[in-house]
Amino acid sequence: MQIAFTLFKYFPYGGLQRDFLRIALACQARGHAVRVYTLSWQDELPEGFDVVQVPVKALTNPRRYAKFSAWVQQDLARRPADRVVGFNKMPGLDVYYSADPCYEDKAHALRNRLYRLSARYRHFSAFERAVFDPRSHTEILLISAVQQPLFQKHYGTPAERFHLLPPGIARDRCAPPDATEIRRAFRNEFGLRTEDLLLVQIGSGFKTKGLDRSLKALAALPAALKARTRLIVIGQDEPRPFLRQIRQLGLADRVTILKGRDDIQRFLLGADLLLHPAYNENTGTALLEAVASGLPVLTTAACGYAHYIEEAGAGQVIALPFVQGTLDARLAAMLADESARRQWSANGLAFANRADLYSMPERAADIITGQSVE
Protein backbone atom coordinates (compact mmCIF):
# COMPACT_ATOMS: atom_id res chain seq x y z
CA MET A 1 0.00 0.00 0.00
CA GLN A 2 1.22 3.53 -0.79
CA ILE A 3 0.48 5.80 2.16
CA ALA A 4 0.85 9.57 1.89
CA PHE A 5 1.30 11.57 5.09
CA THR A 6 0.84 15.33 5.28
CA LEU A 7 2.06 17.71 7.96
CA PHE A 8 2.99 21.36 7.68
CA LYS A 9 6.32 21.16 9.50
CA TYR A 10 8.57 18.39 10.80
CA PHE A 11 11.17 18.93 13.51
CA PRO A 12 12.36 16.25 15.93
CA TYR A 13 11.15 17.72 19.24
CA GLY A 14 7.45 18.40 18.66
CA GLY A 15 4.89 16.03 20.15
CA LEU A 16 2.82 15.94 16.94
CA GLN A 17 5.95 15.33 14.90
CA ARG A 18 7.12 12.48 17.12
CA ASP A 19 3.68 10.87 16.87
CA PHE A 20 3.72 11.19 13.08
CA LEU A 21 7.14 9.57 12.80
CA ARG A 22 6.27 6.61 15.03
CA ILE A 23 3.00 5.99 13.16
CA ALA A 24 4.70 6.27 9.77
CA LEU A 25 7.44 3.87 10.88
CA ALA A 26 4.80 1.42 12.17
CA CYS A 27 3.13 1.48 8.74
CA GLN A 28 6.48 1.07 6.99
CA ALA A 29 7.35 -1.91 9.22
CA ARG A 30 4.26 -3.67 7.84
CA GLY A 31 5.60 -3.35 4.31
CA HIS A 32 3.79 -0.18 3.20
CA ALA A 33 5.48 2.63 1.25
CA VAL A 34 5.66 6.01 2.98
CA ARG A 35 5.48 9.35 1.19
CA VAL A 36 5.54 12.56 3.24
CA TYR A 37 4.36 15.99 2.10
CA THR A 38 5.65 18.86 4.24
CA LEU A 39 6.66 22.51 4.01
CA SER A 40 9.75 22.00 6.12
CA TRP A 41 11.78 18.97 7.26
CA GLN A 42 14.38 19.71 9.95
CA ASP A 43 16.08 16.40 10.59
CA GLU A 44 17.73 13.45 8.91
CA LEU A 45 15.49 11.60 6.48
CA PRO A 46 14.37 8.15 7.69
CA GLU A 47 15.51 5.33 5.44
CA GLY A 48 12.91 4.49 2.81
CA PHE A 49 10.79 7.64 3.30
CA ASP A 50 9.93 9.66 0.19
CA VAL A 51 9.89 13.18 1.69
CA VAL A 52 8.44 15.87 -0.59
CA GLN A 53 9.10 19.43 0.55
CA VAL A 54 6.26 21.33 -1.07
CA PRO A 55 7.63 24.44 -2.87
CA VAL A 56 5.00 27.05 -2.00
CA LYS A 57 5.38 30.44 -0.33
CA ALA A 58 3.01 33.10 0.98
CA LEU A 59 3.03 36.08 3.32
CA THR A 60 0.63 34.50 5.82
CA ASN A 61 0.29 31.00 7.26
CA PRO A 62 -3.34 30.52 6.11
CA ARG A 63 -2.41 31.39 2.54
CA ARG A 64 0.66 29.14 2.66
CA TYR A 65 -1.39 26.23 4.03
CA ALA A 66 -4.02 26.73 1.33
CA LYS A 67 -1.32 26.62 -1.34
CA PHE A 68 0.20 23.56 0.33
CA SER A 69 -3.14 21.74 0.24
CA ALA A 70 -3.73 22.59 -3.43
CA TRP A 71 -0.20 21.51 -4.43
CA VAL A 72 -0.54 18.20 -2.58
CA GLN A 73 -3.89 17.48 -4.27
CA GLN A 74 -2.35 18.14 -7.69
CA ASP A 75 0.61 15.86 -6.95
CA LEU A 76 -1.69 13.10 -5.67
CA ALA A 77 -3.66 13.34 -8.90
CA ARG A 78 -0.43 12.55 -10.77
CA ARG A 79 0.87 10.03 -8.21
CA PRO A 80 -2.07 8.51 -6.35
CA ALA A 81 -1.84 7.04 -2.86
CA ASP A 82 -3.98 4.32 -1.31
CA ARG A 83 -4.36 6.35 1.89
CA VAL A 84 -3.84 10.05 2.63
CA VAL A 85 -3.18 10.64 6.33
CA GLY A 86 -3.11 14.20 7.65
CA PHE A 87 -1.55 15.52 10.84
CA ASN A 88 -2.97 18.97 10.18
CA LYS A 89 -6.56 19.68 9.14
CA MET A 90 -7.02 20.04 5.39
CA PRO A 91 -9.32 18.78 2.62
CA GLY A 92 -8.85 15.44 0.90
CA LEU A 93 -7.79 13.30 3.85
CA ASP A 94 -8.74 9.66 4.32
CA VAL A 95 -7.51 9.72 7.93
CA TYR A 96 -6.86 12.66 10.24
CA TYR A 97 -4.74 12.43 13.39
CA SER A 98 -6.55 14.80 15.72
CA ALA A 99 -3.79 16.35 17.81
CA ASP A 100 -5.28 19.87 17.83
CA PRO A 101 -8.40 20.94 19.74
CA CYS A 102 -11.60 22.03 18.04
CA TYR A 103 -10.83 25.34 16.32
CA GLU A 104 -14.47 26.28 15.86
CA ASP A 105 -15.15 25.90 19.56
CA LYS A 106 -12.16 28.08 20.48
CA ALA A 107 -13.17 30.68 17.88
CA HIS A 108 -16.59 31.04 19.51
CA ALA A 109 -15.55 30.67 23.15
CA LEU A 110 -12.40 32.80 23.14
CA ARG A 111 -12.84 35.25 20.25
CA ASN A 112 -15.29 38.01 19.37
CA ARG A 113 -17.49 38.33 16.29
CA LEU A 114 -14.97 40.50 14.44
CA TYR A 115 -12.42 37.69 14.58
CA ARG A 116 -14.91 35.42 12.84
CA LEU A 117 -15.01 37.85 9.92
CA SER A 118 -11.27 37.52 9.32
CA ALA A 119 -9.55 35.65 6.50
CA ARG A 120 -7.66 33.63 9.10
CA TYR A 121 -10.91 32.39 10.64
CA ARG A 122 -12.43 31.57 7.25
CA HIS A 123 -9.40 29.49 6.31
CA PHE A 124 -9.04 27.44 9.49
CA SER A 125 -12.79 26.99 9.85
CA ALA A 126 -13.08 25.69 6.28
CA PHE A 127 -10.14 23.31 6.68
CA GLU A 128 -11.61 21.93 9.91
CA ARG A 129 -15.03 21.52 8.32
CA ALA A 130 -13.44 19.61 5.43
CA VAL A 131 -12.42 16.95 7.98
CA PHE A 132 -15.38 16.87 10.36
CA ASP A 133 -18.39 17.65 8.13
CA PRO A 134 -20.96 14.80 8.17
CA ARG A 135 -20.56 14.48 4.39
CA SER A 136 -16.81 13.93 4.68
CA HIS A 137 -15.41 10.40 4.57
CA THR A 138 -12.38 11.21 6.76
CA GLU A 139 -11.75 8.79 9.63
CA ILE A 140 -10.58 10.58 12.79
CA LEU A 141 -7.91 9.29 15.15
CA LEU A 142 -8.59 10.85 18.55
CA ILE A 143 -5.98 11.14 21.26
CA SER A 144 -8.24 13.01 23.69
CA ALA A 145 -11.81 11.90 24.38
CA VAL A 146 -12.82 15.38 25.59
CA GLN A 147 -12.62 16.79 22.07
CA GLN A 148 -15.15 14.46 20.40
CA PRO A 149 -18.30 16.11 21.83
CA LEU A 150 -16.97 19.53 20.78
CA PHE A 151 -16.47 18.46 17.18
CA GLN A 152 -19.89 16.80 17.16
CA LYS A 153 -21.49 19.90 18.66
CA HIS A 154 -20.19 22.14 15.86
CA TYR A 155 -20.28 19.73 12.91
CA GLY A 156 -22.56 16.80 13.71
CA THR A 157 -19.81 14.34 12.85
CA PRO A 158 -21.06 10.72 13.02
CA ALA A 159 -19.72 8.92 16.10
CA GLU A 160 -18.53 5.91 14.09
CA ARG A 161 -15.88 8.02 12.35
CA PHE A 162 -14.04 8.65 15.63
CA HIS A 163 -11.39 6.18 16.84
CA LEU A 164 -9.96 6.81 20.31
CA LEU A 165 -6.31 5.79 20.53
CA PRO A 166 -4.41 4.77 23.65
CA PRO A 167 -1.40 6.91 24.59
CA GLY A 168 1.81 6.25 22.72
CA ILE A 169 4.85 7.13 24.75
CA ALA A 170 8.07 5.41 23.75
CA ARG A 171 9.08 2.51 25.96
CA ASP A 172 12.56 3.98 26.31
CA ARG A 173 10.98 6.55 28.64
CA CYS A 174 10.44 3.80 31.23
CA ALA A 175 12.89 3.88 34.10
CA PRO A 176 15.77 1.46 33.30
CA PRO A 177 17.42 -0.87 35.83
CA ASP A 178 20.29 1.60 36.27
CA ALA A 179 18.01 4.60 36.89
CA THR A 180 19.70 5.37 40.21
CA GLU A 181 23.15 5.54 38.60
CA ILE A 182 21.84 7.72 35.74
CA ARG A 183 20.26 10.08 38.27
CA ARG A 184 23.46 10.36 40.28
CA ALA A 185 25.59 11.08 37.19
CA PHE A 186 23.09 13.64 35.90
CA ARG A 187 22.94 15.55 39.17
CA ASN A 188 26.73 15.58 39.41
CA GLU A 189 26.93 16.94 35.87
CA PHE A 190 24.54 19.80 36.69
CA GLY A 191 26.13 20.57 40.06
CA LEU A 192 23.11 19.51 42.13
CA ARG A 193 23.71 18.70 45.79
CA THR A 194 21.75 16.04 47.68
CA GLU A 195 19.54 18.69 49.27
CA ASP A 196 18.90 20.56 46.00
CA LEU A 197 15.55 20.22 44.25
CA LEU A 198 15.21 20.22 40.47
CA LEU A 199 12.05 21.09 38.58
CA VAL A 200 11.79 20.34 34.87
CA GLN A 201 9.30 21.66 32.35
CA ILE A 202 9.38 19.94 28.96
CA GLY A 203 7.64 20.85 25.73
CA SER A 204 7.70 23.23 22.79
CA GLY A 205 5.32 26.18 23.00
CA PHE A 206 6.33 27.85 26.24
CA LYS A 207 3.29 30.14 26.36
CA THR A 208 0.73 27.36 25.93
CA LYS A 209 2.60 25.11 28.37
CA GLY A 210 2.31 27.80 31.06
CA LEU A 211 5.97 28.67 31.57
CA ASP A 212 4.94 32.09 32.88
CA ARG A 213 2.91 30.34 35.58
CA SER A 214 5.88 28.12 36.50
CA LEU A 215 8.17 31.10 36.90
CA LYS A 216 5.68 32.90 39.14
CA ALA A 217 5.29 29.77 41.29
CA LEU A 218 9.06 29.38 41.62
CA ALA A 219 9.41 33.02 42.60
CA ALA A 220 6.67 32.60 45.25
CA LEU A 221 8.40 29.74 47.07
CA PRO A 222 9.44 30.39 50.68
CA ALA A 223 12.96 31.81 50.69
CA ALA A 224 14.68 28.74 52.18
CA LEU A 225 12.95 26.40 49.73
CA LYS A 226 13.59 28.66 46.73
CA ALA A 227 17.29 28.85 47.60
CA ARG A 228 17.70 25.12 46.93
CA THR A 229 15.31 24.81 43.95
CA ARG A 230 16.23 25.09 40.27
CA LEU A 231 14.10 24.90 37.13
CA ILE A 232 15.30 23.57 33.77
CA VAL A 233 13.02 24.26 30.80
CA ILE A 234 13.45 22.27 27.57
CA GLY A 235 11.70 23.04 24.28
CA GLN A 236 11.77 24.64 20.85
CA ASP A 237 10.44 28.17 21.23
CA GLU A 238 11.45 31.81 21.40
CA PRO A 239 12.77 32.26 24.97
CA ARG A 240 13.23 36.05 25.05
CA PRO A 241 9.87 37.01 26.63
CA PHE A 242 10.48 34.49 29.39
CA LEU A 243 14.09 35.53 29.90
CA ARG A 244 12.76 39.03 30.61
CA GLN A 245 10.28 37.58 33.11
CA ILE A 246 13.09 35.59 34.73
CA ARG A 247 15.13 38.77 35.23
CA GLN A 248 12.12 40.70 36.54
CA LEU A 249 11.38 37.95 39.10
CA GLY A 250 15.01 37.74 40.21
CA LEU A 251 15.38 34.12 39.07
CA ALA A 252 18.42 34.42 36.81
CA ASP A 253 20.42 32.00 38.99
CA ARG A 254 17.48 29.60 39.40
CA VAL A 255 16.29 28.96 35.82
CA THR A 256 17.93 27.49 32.70
CA ILE A 257 16.20 27.31 29.31
CA LEU A 258 17.51 24.69 26.88
CA LYS A 259 16.56 23.91 23.30
CA GLY A 260 14.94 20.59 22.40
CA ARG A 261 17.26 17.63 22.80
CA ASP A 262 17.39 13.85 22.54
CA ASP A 263 18.38 12.92 26.12
CA ILE A 264 15.11 13.85 27.82
CA GLN A 265 15.05 10.71 29.96
CA ARG A 266 18.18 11.84 31.83
CA PHE A 267 16.30 14.95 32.92
CA LEU A 268 13.23 12.93 33.93
CA LEU A 269 15.39 10.61 36.04
CA GLY A 270 17.51 13.41 37.50
CA ALA A 271 14.70 15.78 38.46
CA ASP A 272 12.45 15.85 41.53
CA LEU A 273 9.22 17.14 39.92
CA LEU A 274 7.76 17.75 36.47
CA LEU A 275 5.97 21.11 36.39
CA HIS A 276 3.41 21.41 33.58
CA PRO A 277 0.79 24.12 34.32
CA ALA A 278 -0.53 24.31 30.74
CA TYR A 279 -3.23 26.74 29.66
CA ASN A 280 -4.56 24.11 27.25
CA GLU A 281 -3.16 20.83 26.00
CA ASN A 282 -4.97 18.19 23.97
CA THR A 283 -2.98 15.44 25.66
CA GLY A 284 0.34 16.14 27.38
CA THR A 285 2.75 13.33 26.50
CA ALA A 286 5.38 14.71 28.89
CA LEU A 287 3.07 13.85 31.79
CA LEU A 288 3.08 10.15 30.94
CA GLU A 289 6.80 10.12 30.16
CA ALA A 290 7.37 11.46 33.66
CA VAL A 291 5.07 8.81 35.18
CA ALA A 292 6.97 6.03 33.38
CA SER A 293 10.25 7.46 34.66
CA GLY A 294 9.03 7.67 38.25
CA LEU A 295 8.98 11.48 38.30
CA PRO A 296 6.09 13.09 40.23
CA VAL A 297 3.93 15.54 38.27
CA LEU A 298 2.20 18.83 39.04
CA THR A 299 -0.11 19.84 36.19
CA THR A 300 -3.49 21.39 35.39
CA ALA A 301 -6.79 19.81 34.44
CA ALA A 302 -6.49 21.60 31.08
CA CYS A 303 -4.30 18.70 29.88
CA GLY A 304 -6.10 15.80 28.23
CA TYR A 305 -3.80 13.30 29.94
CA ALA A 306 -4.12 14.88 33.40
CA HIS A 307 -6.59 12.19 34.44
CA TYR A 308 -3.79 9.61 34.19
CA ILE A 309 -1.90 11.47 36.93
CA GLU A 310 -4.92 11.14 39.21
CA GLU A 311 -5.57 7.50 38.25
CA ALA A 312 -1.93 6.60 38.86
CA GLY A 313 -1.63 8.62 42.07
CA ALA A 314 1.55 10.01 40.54
CA GLY A 315 1.25 13.67 41.52
CA GLN A 316 -1.33 16.41 41.71
CA VAL A 317 -3.71 18.08 39.23
CA ILE A 318 -4.88 21.66 39.68
CA ALA A 319 -8.57 22.06 38.90
CA LEU A 320 -10.05 24.64 36.55
CA PRO A 321 -10.55 27.55 36.59
CA PHE A 322 -6.86 27.97 37.23
CA VAL A 323 -5.73 30.07 40.20
CA GLN A 324 -2.05 31.03 40.40
CA GLY A 325 -2.12 30.99 44.20
CA THR A 326 -3.18 27.34 44.13
CA LEU A 327 -0.21 26.43 41.94
CA ASP A 328 2.13 28.37 44.21
CA ALA A 329 0.88 26.55 47.32
CA ARG A 330 0.84 23.08 45.70
CA LEU A 331 4.38 23.48 44.38
CA ALA A 332 5.71 24.52 47.77
CA ALA A 333 3.92 21.64 49.50
CA MET A 334 5.12 19.01 47.02
CA LEU A 335 8.72 20.17 47.19
CA ALA A 336 8.65 20.21 50.99
CA ASP A 337 7.27 16.66 51.29
CA GLU A 338 9.98 14.18 50.31
CA SER A 339 7.99 11.20 51.59
CA ALA A 340 5.00 12.06 49.38
CA ARG A 341 7.28 12.45 46.35
CA ARG A 342 8.70 8.98 46.94
CA GLN A 343 5.16 7.57 47.06
CA TRP A 344 4.07 9.41 43.89
CA SER A 345 7.19 8.06 42.17
CA ALA A 346 6.46 4.47 43.22
CA ASN A 347 2.83 4.82 42.20
CA GLY A 348 3.82 6.10 38.76
CA LEU A 349 6.25 3.27 38.12
CA ALA A 350 3.65 0.68 39.12
CA PHE A 351 1.02 2.30 36.89
CA ALA A 352 3.38 2.38 33.90
CA ASN A 353 3.95 -1.37 34.33
CA ARG A 354 0.26 -2.28 34.26
CA ALA A 355 -1.39 0.32 31.97
CA ASP A 356 -1.28 0.53 28.18
CA LEU A 357 0.59 3.79 27.66
CA TYR A 358 2.52 2.65 24.61
CA SER A 359 0.48 1.11 21.76
CA MET A 360 -0.81 4.22 19.95
CA PRO A 361 1.41 3.87 16.83
CA GLU A 362 0.41 0.26 16.25
CA ARG A 363 -3.27 0.98 16.86
CA ALA A 364 -3.15 3.94 14.48
CA ALA A 365 -1.44 1.80 11.85
CA ASP A 366 -4.23 -0.78 12.23
CA ILE A 367 -6.87 1.81 11.35
CA ILE A 368 -4.87 3.52 8.60
CA THR A 369 -4.21 0.24 6.81
CA GLY A 370 -7.68 -1.18 7.35
CA GLN A 371 -6.46 -4.05 9.53
CA SER A 372 -8.84 -3.21 12.37
CA VAL A 373 -12.61 -3.39 12.42
CA GLU A 374 -14.36 -1.63 15.29
Q: pLDDT class for 15, splitting at 50, 70, 90?
A: confident
How many other C-beta atoms are found inside a 10 Å radius of the C-beta of residue 366?
19
**Chain mean pLDDT for the chain:** 96
More confident site: 206 or 13: 206
Handedness of CA 258, 263, 267, 268 (dihedral sign): positive
User: What per-residue confidence (pLDDT) applies to 20?
Assistant: 97
- The residue length of the chain stands at 374
* Cα–Cα distance, 85 to 139 (Å, whole number): 9
pLDDT at 66 over 60: yes
At 295 the pLDDT is: 98
Q: What is the pLDDT of residue 13?
A: 86
Q: In the predicted model, what is the mean pLDDT of residues 113-119? A: 95
Q: What is the pLDDT of residue 373?
A: 45
pLDDT, tens digit (0-9, with 9 covering 90-100), for 262-300 = 899 999 999 999 999 999 888 999 999 999 999 999 999
The pLDDT, as a whole number, for residue 14 is 86
> Can you list the positions of beta strands (E) in the chain?
2-6, 9-10, 33-38, 40-41, 50-53, 83-86, 95-98, 139-142, 162-164, 197-202, 229-234, 255-258, 273-276, 297-300, 315-318
Mean pLDDT (whole number) for 50-59:
98
For residue 111, give Cα distances in angstroms to 103, 108, 208: 11, 6, 17
Report the C-alpha gap between 334 and 226 in whole angstroms.
13
Q: How far is the C-alpha of 270 from the C-alpha of 72, rounded, in Å?
A: 44
The architecture in CATH of the region 171-354 reads 3-Layer(aba) Sandwich (3.40)
pLDDT of residue 372: 57
106: pLDDT strictly greater than 80: yes
Range(s) of the chain covered by CATH 3.40.50.2000: 2-166+359-368, 171-354
Q: Model confidence over 306-324: pLDDT tens digits?
A: 999 999 999 999 999 999 9
Q: Which helix (H) or strand (E) holds 127?
A: helix 119-132
Q: Quick: pLDDT tens for 197-225.
A: 999 999 989 999 999 999 999 999 999 99
Q: Note the pTM of the prediction, 2 decimals.
A: 0.88
Q: How many helices (H) and strands (E) does the chain have?
A: 15, 15
Domain at 2-166+359-368: CATH architecture: 3-Layer(aba) Sandwich (3.40)
Res 256: pLDDT: 98
Q: How far is CA 179 from CA 81, 147, 271, 274, 337, in A?
A: 45, 36, 12, 17, 22
Q: How do residues 123-171 score in pLDDT, each as one tens digit?
A: 999 999 999 999 999 999 999 888 999 999 999 999 999 999 999 998 8
Decide: residue 167, CB within 10 A, 0-12 exposed, 13-18 middle, 19+ buried.
Answer: buried
**Tens digits of per-residue pLDDT, 224-239?**
999 999 999 999 899 9
d(CA 244, CA 325): 22
